Amino acid sequence: LLEQIRKVNFLLHKDIVTFNDNGDPLSSYNIIAWDWSGPNWTFRVIGSSLWSPVWLDINTIKIQWRGKDNQ
């Protein structure tokens, strides 16, 4: 699979997804979480990541835990 994924590229929500020789994606990503408030569930961005340079940022204040007292 890794041999083949290096050859793949595709369009995803107006962004091109490609992979390097190690099979790692060369894109940045938003990290999303369910938004449990209200009658309908939605998604919201709680962070982002980059591959070059490797970087991960998560806003822990935006994480909404599902349980008693938000635990």
Q: Tell me the pLDDT tens digit for each residue of 4-41.
A: 777 788 887 887 888 877 777 777 788 998 887 778 88
Beta bridge mates, 10: 17
Beta bridge mates, 49: 29, 56
Q: SS3 for 2?
A: helix
The amino acid sitting at 37 is S
CA 27 → CA 14, 46, 56, distances in Å?
A: 12, 17, 13
**Could you tell me the pTM of the whole model?**
0.55
